[in-house]
Structure 1
Amino acid sequence: MYKTIGKFQHGYNAITHRTDDTKMLMDIGVYLLRKGETIILYDIECETVILPLEGFVKLSWEDQSKEVCREDIFQQSPHCLHVCKGIEIIIEALAESEVLIQKTNNHNIFASRLYLPEECTSEEAGANTLDKTSYRTIRTIFDYSTAPYSNLVIGEVISHPGRWSSYPPHHHKQPEVYYYRFNKEQGFGCAMVGDEAFRVKHNSFLTIPGGLDHPQATAPGYAMYFCWMIRHLENAPWTERIFEAEHKWLLENDCKVWPNT
């Protein structure tokens, strides 16, 4: 399912719910906060991820706090707070701010962690293949390899103008959600899920059922950001991208594409 949210309203803007018919198994939404506003988050069933997208906020949890400023999601790697169920989080907006929330059921108890920008794994993917036509920046905040106690994965991609992402086409059985932004609000791209294609706009999202490939393309002149969020399945965590067999040849370092030189 593809949907454009448009302009955010003050407060919570829901994207998915873990029990809705999208079957993404995650609560995902974005809070738009006014300067001076404070919200308190507490969940006795779900682990919670707090990802500041824009603005200046103070995050407080247990006996810790941190002021986080983020002005440009395209240039700045993120701070991201991850807590287990039963932990109270206070978010105080020190300026007008936008904060993404991701939640899902998890009975595991684990130590809270604030991921710092320098701890975010960043990969310049596709820089040396296919004439840079799939050049993008992949930021992985945490996944199964770094947080095996979690039922979630979260990261960010900066898709460069006129380039492809999530490429070569791949799939996995776990559900995934993409939340999009553009460096200019009139920017656009294309998202493909299986045999369907959608025109992607600013403040839109895509729900990706397990088993379908999902390549993306970005219009020339615009940079596309998307936050990618995966929900592990019971006894089947997400650990790898399964590339479509007919396109695996594109992974070869010396593959030749047209013109064949």
Structure 2
Amino acid sequence: MICLCLEGGERNDKMMNNKFGYPEFDENGIKVLTEMEGLYKDMLMNITVYKMKNGDVREFYSVNEEQAVLLVTGDVKYQWEKESRNVKRGNFLKEGIWCLHVCKDTKVTITAFADTEILVQSTTNEREFAPVFYTPEDCIEALAGKDLCEGTARRIVRTAFDYNNAPYSNMVLGEIVGFQGGWSGYIPHHHPQPEVYYYRFDKPQGFGACFIGDDVFKIKDGSFSALTPGKTHPQVTAPGYPMYVVWMIRHLDGNPWTDRVDDPDHLWMVDTPITYR
């Protein structure tokens, strides 16, 4: 069955299925995307976005969850253990990743010096590991899909940490920048591990579409998708509106995410030039 949920932004999350959400910030500047209990429990992650103003201070601590604290945009001071770092990020489309990754039982304090948005991803993990502060220089950034389908699937892929550089973690965190009018997550692919995408545009009217299996959802600024394991999930953004995506995966016990599984129906185009001009 095909679900064309293209105007669902005004609906309450509980009226939607558990594949896509349009949450808003509450009066305290908190926007919950997924929780390990509730509508999106199959994602196996707690993911929350916070708005902060100049002078705001927030603390993040969990007894049994590792945490990744990502600066989406703003001017902040990170503090953890005996360390601190002041960083700014003005444009999430053009500037790279600043992210602090800590194990359980580690407090992180964020102080804002301007309007700021941060995202916190967490999940259970009994392992202990030293905190890692990822900078744009530390993260892998690649231009993917540049030779596919006349460049219509070009996108920038940034990876902060995954199984390759953080095998002690139960999570993966990265970012995608989709070029205006282009596709990402292409060719259509899937994997058995749950994944969440959080979407931002530099203009609030920006939009696109996300395909999860046979279901289609309108992407809006601040929306997110909860990608069902085993379902393909390509997405496209409208001309004029490059799209920023935070992508977050939860490893499964004994089955960490290491690569995508391309849909065999579409593999033909990888090695076949497509030109009509």
Partner of 2:20: 2
| Secondary structure, aligned partner of 1:67 | strand
Q: CA deviation at 1:241?
A: 0.3
Amino acid paired to 1:52: L
Question: Aligned runs of 1:145-156 on 2, under 5 Å?
Answer: 145-156=164-175
Partner of 2:39: 21
Aligned-partner Cα distance in 1 for 2:207–2:26? 18
- Residue ranges of structure 2 left out of the alignment (5+ in a row): 1-18
Is 1:140–1:156's contact at 8 Å kept on the other side of the alignment?
yes
Is 2:24–2:31's contact at 8 Å kept on the other side of the alignment?
no
Aligned-partner Cα distance in 1 for 2:138–2:123? 23
Aligned-partner Cα distance in 2 for 1:63–1:164? 43
Is 1:40–1:91's contact at 8 Å kept on the other side of the alignment?
yes
Partner of 1:133: 152
Question: Aligned runs of 1:197-212 on 2, under 5 Å?
Answer: 197-212=216-231
1:196-235 superposed Cα distances (whole Å, 9 cap, x missing partner): 0011110000001100000001111111111000000000
Residue from 43, 48, 65 that aligns with 2:62: 43
Query: Quick one: structure 1 residues 168 and 188, their matched pair in 2 at CA, closer, same or farther if it must change by over 3 Å?
Result: same
Aligned-partner Cα distance in 2 for 1:207–1:174? 11
Amino acid paired to 1:247: H
Aligned-partner Cα distance in 2 for 1:7–1:200? 17
Q: CA deviation at 1:103?
A: 0.3
Which structure 1 residue ranges, 4+ long, deviate > 4 Å from structure 2?
6-9
Is 1:164–1:218's contact at 8 Å kept on the other side of the alignment?
yes
Aligned-partner Cα distance in 2 for 1:29–1:137? 24
Residue from 196, 206, 209 that aligns with 1:187: 206
Partner of 2:129: 110
Q: Kindly report the root-mean-square deviation, in angstroms, between the aligned alpha carbons of the 2 structures.
A: 1.2
Question: Aligned runs of 1:164-183 on 2, under 5 Å?
Answer: 164-183=183-202
Aligned-partner Cα distance in 2 for 1:166–1:46? 29
Residue from 12, 15, 22 that aligns with 2:30: 12
Is 2:68–2:101's contact at 8 Å kept on the other side of the alignment?
yes
1:140-190 superposed Cα distances (whole Å, 9 cap, x missing partner): 111001100000000000000010000000000000000001121101001
Partner of 2:120: 101
Partner of 2:103: 84
Is 1:47–1:105's contact at 8 Å kept on the other side of the alignment?
yes
Amino acid paired to 2:29: G
Q: CA deviation at 1:258?
A: 5.2
Is 1:58–1:91's contact at 8 Å kept on the other side of the alignment?
yes
Amino acid paired to 2:21: K
Mean alpha-carbon deviation: is it higher for 3-12 or for 214-223? 3-12
Q: CA deviation at 1:256?
A: 2.6
| Secondary structure, aligned partner of 1:117 | coil
| Secondary structure, aligned partner of 2:268 | helix
2:67 is the alignment partner of 1:57: no
Aligned-partner Cα distance in 2 for 1:190–1:4? 13
Identity %: 42
Is 1:6–1:202's contact at 8 Å kept on the other side of the alignment?
no
Amino acid paired to 1:12: I
TM-score by length of 2: 0.90
Residue from 241, 250, 259 that aligns with 1:240: 259
Aligned-partner Cα distance in 2 for 1:117–1:84? 21
1:9-29 superposed Cα distances (whole Å, 9 cap, x missing partner): 433211100122321010001
Query: Quick one: structure 1 residues 208 and 12, their matched pair in 2 at CA, closer, same or farther if it must change by over 3 Å?
Result: same
Query: Quick one: structure 1 residues 99 and 235, their matched pair in 2 at CA, closer, same or farther if it must change by over 3 Å?
Result: same
| Secondary structure, aligned partner of 1:250 | helix
